[in-house]
Every structure is written in C-alpha cells, then in structure tokens.
Chain A
Amino acid sequence: MKLALIVLIPFIGALLPPLAIRAGRNVCAVVTAGVTGLSLAILLTEVPAVYSGTVPRTSAEWLPSLGLSWSFFVDGLGLFFAALILGIGLLIILYARFYLSSADPMGRFFCYLLLFQGSMVGIVLSDNILLLIVFWELTSLTSFLLIGYWYHLPESRAGARMALIVTGGGGLALMGGMLLLGNIAGTFELSEILLRGDQIKASPLYVPMLLLVLIGAFTKSAQFPFHFWLPHAMAAPTPVSAYLHSATMVKAGVFLLARLWPALAGTPEWFMIVALTGAVTMVIAAWIGLFKDDLKGLLAFSTVSHLGLLTMLLGFGTRSAMVAAMFHVLNHATFKAALFMSAGIVDHETGTRDIRKLGGLRHLMPITATLAIIAAASMAGVPFLNGFLSKEMMLEEASHTAYAGLWWLLPLLATVGALFSAAYSARLVFHVFFGKERHDYPHHPHDPPVGMWLPVALLVIPVIAIGIMPAFFAGAIVERTALAAVGGALPDYYLAIWHGVTPALFMSAIALTGGLAMLWAYPAINRWRLSVPRPDAMTMFQAVIAALVMAARRLLDLIDNRSLPRYLAAIVATIGVFGLAGYFGAAHLPGTRETLPISLPAVTGWGVLLAACVLIVLRHHDRLFALIVTSVVGLIVSLAFLQFSAPDLALTQISVEVVTTILLLLAINLLPRTTPDEMSGGAKLSAGALAVLGGIGVTALAYAIMTRGFETISDYHIAQSKPGGGGTNVVNVILVDFRGYDTFGEIIVLAIAALTIFALLDSALKGESAKRLAAMRTSAKAHDPHPLLLTVVTRVLLPLSLMVGVYILLRGHNLPGGGFIAGLIVAIAFIMQYMASGYVWAHERARFDAHVMIGGGVAVAGLTGLASLLFDRPFLTSTFGYFDMSIFGEVELASAMAFDVGVFFTVVGTCILSLATISRVEERAEQPPETAGVPAP
C-alpha cells in the first residue's frame, strides 16, 4: 500500500496546483513541491530495507483474468530511478517557479508536471508489465501536454504532436512486445519474468518480441532512427526540457532495457541490435549536436548521444557494462539537468538561445557561467568530474568488445562519439561564456535570482563530489542499482579516478584533445558540412504524415460519399453475403413441427398485405397514399396478432397505429406532398434486387424457425404468474414484474425520445425554420381547419375514452390491457382534442403538463421499484392484495400496478408531447406569426 502511495500521490496531488494558484504563485509552487516531497519521503523510508537487500512489494488485483494487477515493487534499480525522478523533480519545481512568467498559467503547468511525475514513478516501480504499459502510455500523454504547454506557439504544437506520434506509436509496439513476453514467460508479473530469462531466450518468439520491445524503448529514448523527435520537443518551456529530456522520460527507454536486462540480454541478437543502435546514435547525434546553433538543440542532441552511449553499454550484455551504464545514468542526470537549467537561465536573461548571438557571458553572469562550465566540462569528460569517470568506464568496456569479428569497430565509434561530445561541450563553453563581452543582447543579462541558480548549484555539487571521491559518494548507489539490474552478483570493479595506463585513458585523451581541435577548426568544418546535402527529419516526418492523411482521406472519400442510400445498401448487401454464405454452408432440412391449416380470413389478410407491399413500392410517390397503405399494413399486423393468441399485442398495435398515423399525417402536412421520381432505373433495380434478396432470406428464416420445435423458458412465467406476480395476464405480469427492469428502461427511452422531439421542434420556431413555416402559411390552406362535427364528437367522447383507458389499465394485470395500451388510448383521446379544436384551444384548457406526466410516470415507476428496497427486497420486487372498488368490482392491486401506472403516465405524456409539439408547429404555419418582420411572400 505504501508503495502504491508513492505512485498515486503525484496523481492525486495533481489536483492541487490548479486550486492553489488562486492563493498565488509561491503557494502553488510550495504545494506542488510538497506533493513531490511527500512522495519522495515515502520512497526514502524504503531505503534501509532496499539497501539491506530486501525487495518490498505490494499487490492488488485489477483484472486478474488478463493478468493485470496493481503490483509495485522497489528494488535498487527502481529506487534509484524513482529517487532521480522525484529528486530532480523537486529542483525543477523550484526552478520553474522563477522561470515561468506571470503570463503563464502556473497551476496548469504544475498539474501536468505532477501527472507526468506520477506516470514516470509508475513505470519504474511497476511489478506488472501490463501496468508498466499503462504508465508508459501515460508518460506519452502527459509529456504531450507538457511539450505543448505553450500551445499558442505553432512549433510547440508541432513538437508535441511529433513526440506523441513517435513515442505513442512506439508504446503500441511495446505493448505488443510485452504481451508476447508475458505469453512466453507465462506471467505478467515482472519479478517472475526476470527469473525466467533462459525460458524466454529459448522461445521461438524471442526475436519478434525483442524487436517490438526495442522499438518501444528506442522511440522513447530517441535512438537512431527515431532520434528526430527529441530536438523538436525543445519547443517546450525549459523546465520541461530539463526534466523530461535529461532525467526522466527519455531515460524510460534506458530504464526499460535495464529492467528487462536479466530476461532479454546476453543473446547475439540483443548484442547486435542494441549495441550497434546505441553506438550509431551516440556518434550521429553528437555530430548533429555540434552544429546546432540553438543552445537547447545542442543539449537535446547531446542527450540523444548520451542515451546512445547508455544503450550501447546495455547492449554489451556484460555485468561490468551494466555498472558503467548505471553510473553514467546518475552522472548524466546531474550534469545534463544542470546544463538545461543553465541554458534556460541564459535564454531567460539574454532573450536568445542562439549560440551565434551569445558570447562573453562569463563577465555578465559569473555564477551561472561557473556552474554551467563545470557541468559542461563534466559532459566533455574532463578529469575530476563525474562525467569523466563513467565515460572512461564506457571506453574501457568498448575497448575490449568486438562487434561481428571487427575488434576495432566499437572502440572507434566510442572514441569518435566521445570526441564529438568533447567538441560540442567545448563549443558550448567557449562560444557562450568565453570570448569578448557583448552588449547587443535583447535584454541586458545578469545573474538570475537565487531560486533559479540554486537548483543548478545543487546539481553541480554531486558533479564535483562524485568526480573526486566516486566510491564514497556514489559507490553504494551504483552497486545496489547494478545488482538489482543484473539480478545477480557483480564482477569486481573500482570506482576510482586513476585506473593506471589503460587503453581507455588513451581514448579519453584523444577525445579531449580531438574535441578541442575540432572546435578550433569549427568554421571550416561547418562550411564543409553546409556544402553537402543533409536529410531533414522534420520534413521527412511531415511528408510521411501528410501522405498517411492523404491516403486516409482518399479511402474515406471512397467509402463515405455522404449518401444514406449507399450506406444502407452496403449494410443490406453485407448481411446478404453473410446470409448466403450461411445458406450455402449448411444442409436444408424442412422443419418437422406440425403446421397450422390455413383459413380463408388468413389468406385474405395475407393477400391484402402482399398487395399493400407491392402498392407501396410502386406508388410511394404519393405520400398520403403511402401513409394509407401503411395503416392498412398495421391493421393486418394487429389482426395477425389477434389470430395467433396475442390479444395484448393486437390491442397495442392498433392503438399505436392510430397514434402513428396521426403523427405522420401531421408531418405530411408540413413536408412535401410527393416524393420525386429521381432515381435511375439501374439504381432502382439494384435496390429492388437487394430488397427481394432480403425478403426471401427473411421468409426462409422465419419459415424454417416456425416449422421447428423449441424449448421455452416461459413455463416458469406461466406457472408463477398468479402465485408470484398476482395476475393472470402473463404478458402483463412479465412486463411489470418478471422483466420490470426492462420495462423501466423502455419507458425511459420513450421519455427521452419525447423530450428530444420537443427540443427539436421547440427551437424550430426561430431562425430559418420559422421563415419557412411562415412561407407555408398561405399555400394550400384547408377549407375548414376545425369542422364542427368533429369538434363536438371528440369533446363528448373524451370522458368516455378516459374511462375506457382507466378500465384497461386496471384490468391489465389479469386480462388483455395494461399501462402501455391504456396510455395509448388516453393519449388518442387527448390528441383528438388537439386535432379537432386546434393546438391553442386544447393547450389553453389542458390542466396538465406533458413534461410533468413523463417525468412523473418515470418517477412513479422508479419509486415503486425503490419501495421494495424498504422491505429489504431487491429493486422492483412486487407484492399484491385484493381490493373492492365499487364500479369496477373486485380489483386485485399489486404493487406492480403502481409500476404500470407509471408506465401509463409516461406513455400518455410521450404521445401527447410529441404530437402536441408538432401540431403547435403546424399552428404556426396556419396562423400569421405574432412577430412582425418575417416577410410574407
């Protein structure tokens, strides 16, 4: 639990900065630092345990079926990285407080920073590789937010997007690799996987898995050929660059390689790919970095180069190389973060980061210059600084590692990389801080407030301390970290300044002197470099992305031509293809169930139905006629229900038919009266062919099913209807009792439909729609909109219909009827009033509001359900009893009845609201609009 807290605190704490910023920028920074500090403090309480050799862990299940769990553990490696992330995080927070201007939203910045921090700590402490993937992706997302923090700058957005695409894409590859890894190892628990290295390396899936994992690690750590995203991410504010690109995110790839080292490393494939990728990256990135005029760009490529160095060391697959790698991680984090912050200070103070415009800052800002020069010297590999020690160890490892039989390749690459590294470090020092004092800066520079240079100083202290007494200051950390990383014993090694006269010493000397010589020859080399063509990564990346977008758009235009008929035809055709495939893939035995003999009424109805179907296809252009045909079909369908023992359905269908017909009539009045005959003969033919295919398929399917026997689950419902549900109408009991939950959902759907209709038409009385309605007014006016006879009859019928409705509602539990049907009947009675007497007349006299009815209905149904909770029964459990009601005789009242009443009111409200809203719009079309200004034609 404690371990999970280390990870979770930054996530939870991320909520605080946006709130704390209201109390001021200092409070905000202090709160953020407090969150990080708390997390760090909890982490540090684990130090004694970890350094006495135990591995604290915690685990909780998340999705056990997938192998995903909330497992965290902290060993030497995890502790080291987590401490780096949180420790440098603290310094970054302090630095950012002074770096960000008052125009930058600081709360948002610290919120993102904490989210990122939590994700990073999650990666290094995860004991489950799937959980690790989750955090890995989270770092991609949160770094996107951080890099794009100044989202008003186009290069910020472009850089953030590129970082997201590259690292996110790599994350997908990594996910594939991790899934393979988990399958090979038989577990997703990391500490288990690390013990099964032999089993993993022997698997036939080892190479594909390795490649996927490496793509993930290389994209994150910006290894060649994915190195191009990191420099563009420098558009971020400097604290972000310093944090993400020195100590944390780009180290995630290296961390992953180190973490999985016991499980994956040591094979020829690992060595060939990882060592060479690292070496090539180290050299190429250092070369590019040397010529970067942007201070942060130079540092970015130097970071890529150092990550290459680390990757190469891990690629060697030896334990002593691991020691060197872990030592260099520590050293690089200190001097590189210090350099990034110094670059930020220079930018902040002078107003430029262009090396060509800088120089002589030694005189203007002595503190910054001193700190930056020490850090840069460490990066160059000057003795008595920590960078020298680990670089020397790297050279030593490279000097006795042969690659593919070529003994000289790796030593050469390592020396050249170190030489370039010395050169760009020297360029940074001499071109920025030395030279003549300049006065053409956008701002007059001077040393920043102490809050800005203090973090740099705090990082430079270990640079010197470790450089002078490595064993004392870093020995224990390096040992414990490397021990945990290799998962076994370490070879003999010495963290010391003097190792005697070794090949590495010569290589080091060549690198340092060569680097200085290169700087001296810099103008000449640069002229030569500019004369040869250089590939630009950003252009290539954008070309690839643009090509992808173009291809996607072409494909979309092909599929998505915004034609509904075409989509529907495609859907029907697809179903047809599957249906035919099924048809031809199986035997066709006729069903053996006994069939029912036909009767004359049935054949008559069938004939009418078929005729209606033919007529609607041929004559649908006349919309009123189409509507009449539709009602005829509805009538036949209700008769079919009646014929086949479904009185409830027949009643429902016929009442729905009435409401639907009125609704469509109202709509036709506002829509065009005819459908133009505009489709080509070919289109009609193909639509017809698809339709006939569908019809035949459905016929065959329905016939095949109906002529086969089946087992029903309804025997229970029939048996329990009376004793359990208190009603003899099994259909109604199922609706309000057995399957009450479904019904509850359905009336909610109805309510939503009604409210949507209201919303759609209520707003139609304004804007374009209102103008069209006004224009319709004069055209085709009915002779007498409200015929007297209809008006009188409907008014007389209203009370009668209401009583029928109540009767149907009450008897529904035992005989055909119920809330749905009763609701429809009552709704029809009310709608008739709107039809006969007009919307205004009916609306003025309505004593109820349809909205209230809908809401009330759903509420009644819901509360009935909830009432059963009072008696410790599940939602919607029903009970019943018998009551004498004078007019209606003895009526059995179940609590389900109350539920049915809710259904009733929802249905009434839905129907009335939908139709009354349309008739209100209609009324507008008939009456002159009250507001003048709408031009009448």
Chain B
Amino acid sequence: MSTVMSTVMSMEFLLASGIGALTAAGLYLIMLRRTFPVVIGLSFLSYAVNVFLFSMGRLTIDLPPIVSEAAKGYTDPLPQALVLTAIVITFGMTALIVVLSLRGFLETGSDDVTLQAQPDDDASRASGDGAAR
C-alpha cells in the first residue's frame, strides 16, 4: 500500500482508486446468488458510476458552481447536474429492485437469483413452440 501512496500522492489517485474499489466490491457482490447481495452490489456500482461521472468535471477544491462576486472560479457544473439526478434515480432503481426481490421472496419463499429448472417449467417451455412437435 505504502509504495503506491508514495508514488502517486494525489487526490486524483485517491478518488480513482476509491472508484475502483467500489467497482470491484460491487462487481463481486452482483455475481453472488442471492438477491440481497445483488442489491447491495448494485448500490456499490451506482456509487462508483456516480463518482466516476462526477470526476469527468475534474477535481477542484473550494470552487462551488455558485455564481458570486467573491468567487475565484467555478468548477464544471454540468457533471454535477447530471450526477444529482443520477443519485435520485439510483434511489428509485434501488427501491424498485429491493421491492422486486422482496415480492419474489414472498411469492416463492426463496431469494435465489438462479432459476432452478423445474419439470413443469420445461413442459411449459416445450409447449411454447409448435414447430418442434
């Protein structure tokens, strides 16, 4: 760890590696077999994506995009505006998949994201196309 920090001592690196860590954790969690880790994993990925998007405006300190006489300059407001709505939409998406997984669990009694091949399932699939029969 310390070798990395001594070579790249910058905010940019901290943020980039933070995004990377969030991405890695998120990717690992969404590849698990239960709904809840998948939801948490998507949350992590959303954090990563939102911060990544935000970082497209580059990093600045103490230059908020609030117009005033005293300001020394402004950071890029456009990525911020995009990310602001993205954060809220992320909430909507998280809420939706949580409820989906909840309903799925209540309906089937299982929170597994892998569909087990059930005999009646195969039957209904086979009857879906008449050409094969």
Complex alpha-carbon distance, A715 and B8, angstroms: 31
A454 interface residue (CB < 8 Å to B): no
Interface flags, B20-58, vs A, CB<8A=1, else 0? 111111111111111111111001100110111011111
A597 interface residue (CB < 8 Å to B): yes
B129 interface residue (CB < 8 Å to A): yes
Instruction: From B61, B87, B92, give the contact of A643 (CB < 8 A).
Output: B61
Residues of chain A with a CB closer than 8 A to B120's CB: none
Q: Known contacts A643-B61, A688-B28, A730-B66: does B36 contact A671 (CB below 8 Å)?
A: yes
Complex alpha-carbon distance, A13 and B115, angstroms: 49
Residues of chain A with a CB closer than 8 A to B123's CB: none
Contact residues of A between 604 and 662, Cβ < 8 Å to B: 606, 609-610, 613-614, 616-617, 620, 623, 626-627, 630, 633-634, 636-637, 640-641, 643-649, 652-653, 656, 659-660
Q: At the interface with chain B, which of A136-144, A228-236, A543-551, A843-851?
A: A543-551
Residues of chain B with a CB closer than 8 A to A815's CB: 66
Additional A-B contacts beyond A563-B115, A640-B15 (13; CB < 8 A): A610-B17, A670-B105, A692-B24, A698-B20, A702-B52, A706-B12, A712-B57, A730-B65, A730-B74, A746-B88, A768-B108, A769-B107, A914-B99
Residues of chain B with a CB closer than 8 A to A824's CB: 88
- Whether A743 contacts B85 by the Cβ 8 Å rule is yes
- Whether B15 contacts A702 by the Cβ 8 Å rule is yes
Query: Sorted from nearest, which 4 A-B pairs have the closest CB atoms?
Result: A695-B24, A699-B20, A595-B10, A562-B115
- Whether A634 contacts B17 by the Cβ 8 Å rule is no
- Whether A694 contacts B23 by the Cβ 8 Å rule is yes
Instruction: From B22, B58, B78, B93, give the contact of A633 (CB < 8 A).
Output: B22
Interface flags, B67-95, vs A, CB<8A=1, else 0? 11000001111101101110111111111
Interface flags, A505-537, vs B, CB<8A=1, else 0? 000000000000000000000000000000000
Q: Most chain-B CB neighbours within 10 Å: which of A546, A563, A667?
A: A667
Q: At the interface with chain B, which of A244-252, A755-763, A802-810?
A: A755-763
A273 interface residue (CB < 8 Å to B): no
Residues of chain B with a CB closer than 8 A to A652's CB: 84, 87-88
- Whether A637 contacts B111 by the Cβ 8 Å rule is no
- Whether B114 contacts A676 by the Cβ 8 Å rule is no
Residues of chain B with a CB closer than 8 A to A782's CB: none
Complex alpha-carbon distance, A399 and B130, angstroms: 49
- Whether B109 contacts A772 by the Cβ 8 Å rule is yes
Interface flags, A712-726, vs B, CB<8A=1, else 0? 111001100110000
- Taking CB as reference atom, which chain B residue is nearest A670? B102
A859 interface residue (CB < 8 Å to B): no
A770 to chain B, nearest CB (A): 8
A598 interface residue (CB < 8 Å to B): yes
**B residues with CB within 8 A of A:** 5, 8-40, 43-44, 47-48, 50-52, 54-68, 74-78, 80-81, 83-85, 87-96, 98-103, 105-109, 111, 113-115, 117, 129-132
B92 to chain A, nearest CB (A): 4
Q: Most chain-A CB neighbours within 10 Å: which of B8, B20, B50, B101?
A: B20
- Taking CB as reference atom, which chain B residue is nearest A615? B25
12 example contacts (A-B, Cβ-Cβ < 8 A) are as follows A563-B115, A613-B25, A637-B50, A664-B39, A667-B101, A699-B19, A699-B21, A702-B20, A705-B55, A714-B77, A907-B88, A914-B99
| Chain A facing B: main interface SS | helix
Q: At the interface with chain B, which of A192-200, A346-354, A565-573?
A: A565-573
B49 to chain A, nearest CB (A): 9
Q: Known contacts A675-B34, A729-B65: does B11 contact A691 (CB below 8 Å)?
A: no
B45 to chain A, nearest CB (A): 10
Residues of chain A with a CB closer than 8 A to B38's CB: 564
Residues of chain A with a CB closer than 8 A to B61's CB: 596, 643-645
- Whether B27 contacts A695 by the Cβ 8 Å rule is yes
Residues of chain A with a CB closer than 8 A to B75's CB: 644-646
| Chain B facing A: main interface SS | helix
Instruction: From A646, A695, A816, A911, give the contact of B23 (CB < 8 A).
Output: A695
B10 to chain A, nearest CB (A): 4
Residues of chain B with a CB closer than 8 A to A634's CB: 47
Residues of chain A with a CB closer than 8 A to B56's CB: 705, 710
**A residues with CB within 8 A of B:** 157, 161, 545-546, 549-550, 553, 562-565, 568-569, 572, 593, 595-599, 602-603, 606, 609-610, 613-614, 616-617, 620, 623, 626-627, 630, 633-634, 636-637, 640-641, 643-649, 652-653, 656, 659-660, 663-664, 667-668, 670-672, 675-676, 678-679, 687-688, 690-692, 694-700, 702-703, 705-707, 710, 712-714, 717-718, 721-722, 728-731, 734-735, 739, 742-743, 746, 749-750, 753-754, 756-757, 760-761, 764, 767-769, 772-773, 814-816, 820, 824, 907, 910-911, 914, 917-918, 921
- Taking CB as reference atom, which chain B residue is nearest A553? B132
- Whether A646 contacts B80 by the Cβ 8 Å rule is yes
- Whether B14 contacts A749 by the Cβ 8 Å rule is no
- Taking CB as reference atom, which chain A residue is nearest B98? A667
- Whether B95 contacts A596 by the Cβ 8 Å rule is no
- Whether A613 contacts B80 by the Cβ 8 Å rule is no
Q: Known contacts A564-B113, A718-B67, A734-B78: does B88 contact A656 (CB below 8 Å)?
A: yes
Q: Known contacts A644-B59, A706-B58, A761-B102: does B21 contact A746 (CB below 8 Å)?
A: no
Instruction: From A609, A649, A672, give the contact of B83 (CB < 8 A).
Output: A649
Residues of chain A with a CB closer than 8 A to B60's CB: 596, 644-645
Q: Known contacts A633-B22, A679-B33, A761-B99: does B81 contact A734 (CB below 8 Å)?
A: yes
Q: Known contacts A620-B40, A706-B12, A706-B55: does B32 contact A609 (CB below 8 Å)?
A: no
- Taking CB as reference atom, which chain B residue is nearest A623? B36
Residues of chain B with a CB closer than 8 A to A636's CB: 18
Complex alpha-carbon distance, A647 and B63, angstroms: 10
- Whether B29 contacts A620 by the Cβ 8 Å rule is yes
- Whether B99 contacts A760 by the Cβ 8 Å rule is yes
Residues of chain B with a CB closer than 8 A to A717's CB: 77-78
B97 to chain A, nearest CB (A): 10
- Whether B30 contacts A568 by the Cβ 8 Å rule is yes
Complex alpha-carbon distance, A697 and B61, angstroms: 26
Complex alpha-carbon distance, A597 and B5, angstroms: 12
- Whether B16 contacts A702 by the Cβ 8 Å rule is yes
- Whether B107 contacts A768 by the Cβ 8 Å rule is yes
Complex alpha-carbon distance, A258 and B44, angstroms: 65
- Taking CB as reference atom, which chain B residue is nearest A546? B132
Complex alpha-carbon distance, A565 and B41, angstroms: 12
- Taking CB as reference atom, which chain A residue is nearest B115? A562
Complex alpha-carbon distance, A604 and B16, angstroms: 15
- Taking CB as reference atom, which chain A residue is nearest B121? A562
- Whether B106 contacts A670 by the Cβ 8 Å rule is yes
Residues of chain A with a CB closer than 8 A to B114's CB: 562-565
Instruction: From A610, A668, A679, give the contact of B32 (CB < 8 A).
Output: A679
- Whether B10 contacts A597 by the Cβ 8 Å rule is yes
Complex alpha-carbon distance, A564 and B56, angstroms: 31
- Whether A653 contacts B87 by the Cβ 8 Å rule is yes
B32 to chain A, nearest CB (A): 7
Residues of chain B with a CB closer than 8 A to A773's CB: 106
Residues of chain B with a CB closer than 8 A to A730's CB: 65-67, 74, 77
B83 to chain A, nearest CB (A): 6
B26 to chain A, nearest CB (A): 8
- Taking CB as reference atom, which chain A residue is nearest B133? A546
- Whether B54 contacts A649 by the Cβ 8 Å rule is yes
- Whether A610 contacts B18 by the Cβ 8 Å rule is yes
Q: Most chain-B CB neighbours within 10 Å: which of A636, A698, A753?
A: A698
Q: Known contacts A645-B63, A820-B84: does B14 contact A698 (CB below 8 Å)?
A: no
Complex alpha-carbon distance, A68 and B94, angstroms: 45
- Whether B29 contacts A616 by the Cβ 8 Å rule is yes
Complex alpha-carbon distance, A769 and B106, angstroms: 5
A664 to chain B, nearest CB (A): 6
Residues of chain B with a CB closer than 8 A to A641's CB: 54
B103 to chain A, nearest CB (A): 5
Instruction: From A699, A721, A743, give the contact of B67 (CB < 8 A).
Output: A721
A340 to chain B, nearest CB (A): 29
- Whether A596 contacts B99 by the Cβ 8 Å rule is no
Q: Known contacts A595-B11, A687-B28: does B92 contact A754 (CB below 8 Å)?
A: yes
